[in-house]
């Protein structure tokens, strides 16, 4: 029987799984296969320090090149996996070679949604997922005088902030009523709208993009359904992602908003696992499946998947966490709130100065907390979220009461 452990997707989740397998003593063949030609890298800098020219390329890599050979990881880059044969325990690569596996981890991540309007394939229409995309946007900011950003989610807001830092005029066109509305709700979404307006971004909400116009094959503006038009030297599109489930689906695994896995990150096939952006995992603390599209999940979840692959009895139950940096605002968020799934927001600190903690509550229970320009408090916020007891809003709001004592005895 084949003894190899195979990981498909050579990015953060894939590289972390390989690392944990070796740390935990797995000494069999280990194959990490990715369709990008780049060594496994982290994506957050691509819309922040790397895009801003403040970080060198070397700092994005999960491990230096030598690490893979030193740890006996057979790293195969630039080659997509084309199919999985669960019965034969084999994956087929695009070059038609086959690799057998004893256990298989899917860490195939996600891909940007394309904007389904005329002109969205013109030159100068830029998406951001890979390091080459970030290079293209950085280059664009050196020559463009104005850009239009479609979507006021994470990509839209972070690239808008980087554009302003490069002195480029920015219009952001968002279908919803506020930026990040589904994630943060109205009260906190407003903070991000104010932040960007204060930095000179022209934010437009409730818009319907009809067309990206072009001249000579290059985007030169965006036309809205109401007839209004915005000129642009380039258009950046950040309208969400879809999980890369194609391999899993074709192999007959259970899929639904990602590859469906249990709290141990096992798929419906006993020898196939999934982690990172692509995994829709049962979360014991929340009592439901969630798919998290953030860095900390891609960093930590594969460690659990790797241990499960080795037969250890572990579950993934970390509090979901993410962060952003935009202009002089840095924040961390811990917890999980369904869109509209809260009935109260409590602020502690100074909202005007953007130095505060926000808590989202439902029936008195703290579902999530976010620290903005206040540091070394996120562990305490996670403890409050994990605790699950009802909280007193006055105590939460009172900065005199340490977060560790906010729930009382």
Ligand X SMILES: Cc1cc2nc3c(=O)[nH]c(=O)nc-3n(C[C@H](O)[C@H](O)[C@H](O)COP(=O)(O)OP(=O)(O)OC[C@H]3O[C@@H](n4cnc5c(N)ncnc54)[C@H](O)[C@@H]3O)c2cc1C
Ligand Y SMILES: NC(=O)c1ccc[n+]([C@@H]2O[C@H](COP(=O)([O-])OP(=O)(O)OC[C@H]3O[C@@H](n4cnc5c(N)ncnc54)[C@H](O)[C@@H]3O)[C@@H](O)[C@H]2O)c1
Q: Which residues bind ligand Y (CB under 6 A)?
A: 47, 115, 150-156, 158, 173-176, 209, 238-241, 293-294, 322, 324
Give me the least distance between CB of 278 and ligand Y, in Å please.
11
Q: Is the distance from CB of 224 to CB of 206 less than 8 angstroms? A: no
CA atoms within a 13 Å half-sphere pointing along the CA-CB vector of 112: 21
Interface with ligand X includes 13 (CB under 6 A)?
yes
What span, in angstroms and rounded, lies between the C-alpha atoms of 17 and 189? 34
| Out of 19, 30, 31, 35, the residue judged to bind ligand X by CB under 6 A | 35
Which residue's CB is nearer to ligand X, number 107 or number 207? Answer: 107
- Least spacing, CB of residue 215 vs ligand X, in Å: 28
Q: DSSP labels for 323-336?
A: EEEETTEEEEEEE-
Give which of ligand Y, ligand X, none residue 13 binds (C-beta under 5 to 8 Å, depending on kind). Answer: ligand X
* 336: nearest Cα among 287, 404, 401, 407: 287
* Interface segment toward ligand X; rule CB under 6 A; list 8-16, 54-62, 207-215, 251-259: 8-16
The residue among 109, 28, 107, 112 whose CA lies nearest residue 267 is 107
Shorter beta-carbon distance to ligand Y: residue 19 or 158:
158
Q: How far is the CB of 128 from ligand X (least distance, A)?
A: 5
Q: Closer CB to ligand Y, residue 233 or residue 293?
A: 293
Binding string to ligand X for residues 127 to 166, with x set by CB under 6 A, is what?
Answer: -xx-------------------------------------
Q: Residue 19 or 36: which CB sits closer to ligand X?
A: 36
Nearest to 146 by CA among 89, 229, 257: 229
Instruction: Read off the tokens for 196.
Output: 């960007």
303 scored as a contact of ligand X (CB under 6 A): no
247 binds, among ligand Y, ligand X, none (CB under 5 to 8 A by kind): ligand X
d(CA 279, CA 294): 12
Instruction: HSE, CB side, 13 Å, CA atoms: give it for residue 197.
Output: 11
β-partners of residue 350 are: 355
CB of 124 to ligand Y, least distance (A): 18
Q: Does 255 bind ligand X (CB under 6 A)?
A: no
Give one DSSP letter per residue of 213-242, joined into a string.
EEETTEEEEEEETTS-EEE-SEEEE---EE
CA-CA distances (angstroms) from residue 147 to 142, 161, 292?
A: 12, 12, 29
**Residue 118, token pair as written in the block:** 């005329």
Stretch that binds ligand X, among 24-32, 104-112, 135-143, 361-369 (CB under 6 A): 104-112
Contact segment (CB under 6 A) with ligand X among 34-42, 138-146, 282-290, 375-383 equals 34-42
**Interacting residues toward ligand X by CB under 6 A:** 8-14, 33-36, 43-44, 46-47, 80-81, 107-110, 128-129, 244, 247, 276-277, 293-296, 298, 322-324
């Amino acid at each position: 029987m084949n003894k190899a452990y195979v990981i498909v997707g050579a990015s953060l989740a894939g590289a972390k799984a390989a690392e944990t397998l070796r740390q935990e003593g797995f000494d069999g063949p280990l194959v990490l296969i990715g369709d990008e030609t780049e060594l496994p890298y982290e994506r957050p800098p691509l819309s922040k320090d790397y895009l801003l020219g403040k970080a060198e390329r070397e700092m994005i890599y999960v491990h230096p090149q030598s690490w893979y050979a030193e740890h006996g990881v057979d790293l195969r880059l630039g080659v997509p996996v084309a199919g999985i044969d669960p019965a034969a325990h084999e994956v087929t690569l695009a070059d038609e070679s086959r690799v057998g596996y004893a256990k298989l981890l899917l860490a195939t991540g996600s891909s940007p949604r394309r904007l389904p309007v005329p002109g969205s394939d013109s030159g100068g229409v830029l998406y951001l997922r890979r390091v080459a995309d970030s290079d293209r946007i950085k280059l664009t900011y050196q020559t463009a005088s104005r850009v239009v950003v479609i979507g006021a989610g994470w990509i839209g807001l972070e690239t808008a902030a980087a554009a302003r830092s490069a002195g480029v005029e920015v219009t952001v066109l968002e279908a919803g009523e506020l930026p990040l509305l589904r994630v943060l709700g109205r009260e906190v979404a407003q903070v991000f709208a104010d932040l960007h307006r204060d930095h000179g971004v022209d934010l437009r909400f409730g818009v319907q993009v009809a067309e990206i116009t072009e001249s000579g094959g290059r985007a030169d503006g965006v036309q809205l359904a109401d007839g209004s038009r915005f000129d642009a030297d380039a258009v950046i599109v950040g309208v969400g992602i879809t999980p890369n489930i194609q391999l899993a689906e074709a192999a007959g695994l259970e899929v639904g908003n990602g590859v469906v896995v249990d709290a141990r990150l096992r798929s419906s096939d006993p020898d196939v696992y999934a982690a990172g952006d692509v995994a829709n995992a049962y979360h014991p603390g929340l009592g439901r499946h969630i798919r998290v599209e953030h860095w900390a999940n891609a960093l930590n979840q594969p460690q659990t998947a790797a241990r499960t692959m080795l037969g250890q009895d572990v579950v993934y139950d970390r509090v979901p966490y993410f962060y952003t940096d935009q202009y002089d605002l840095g924040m961390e968020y811990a917890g999980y709130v369904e869109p509209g799934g809260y009935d109260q927001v409590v602020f502690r600190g100074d909202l005007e100065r953007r130095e505060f903690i926000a808590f989202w509550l439902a029936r008195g229970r703290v579902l999530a907390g976010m620290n903005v320009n206040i540091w070394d408090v996120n562990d305490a916020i996670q403890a409050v979220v994990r605790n699950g007891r009802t909280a007193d809003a006055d105590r939460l709001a009172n900065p005199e009461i340490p977060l560790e004592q906010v729930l009382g005895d």
